[in-house]
Amino acid sequence: MRTTVTLDDDVAAAVDRLLHDRSIGVSQAIDELVRARLGSMPARTKFRQRGLRLGLGIDVRNVAETLDLLEGPRAR
């Protein structure tokens, strides 16, 4: 993928250090910096929605019906 990016001064300095230390190209230096950051990120846990029984006895799957029941038909 080819794109144009604007780097902050500190990021550009890190890229320059890699260019001179390892004799690699700009794209490879940026790739390595990004991969290093991605590798240090914690693994995401899968989101799980939890439900609680509130003892209301109301079916809340239909929002309009639930609002009518709880607030009355004039609340719309």
Q: Tell me the pLDDT tens digit for each residue of 17-48.
A: 999 999 899 999 999 999 988 888 788 889 98
Read off the DSSP letter of residue 19: H
- What integer pLDDT is reported at residue 9 of this predicted model? 94
* pLDDT at position 14 over 70: yes
Q: Which two tokens stand for residue 72?
A: 């009355």
- Can you give the pTM of this predicted structure? 0.49
Give the whole-angstrom CA distance, residue 12 versus residue 15.
Answer: 5
φ/ψ region of 9 (left if φ > 0, alpha if ψ in -120 to 50, else beta) reads alpha
User: Please, is 69 exposed, middle or buried when counting C-beta atoms within 10 Å of its C-beta (0-12, 13-18, 19+)?
Assistant: middle
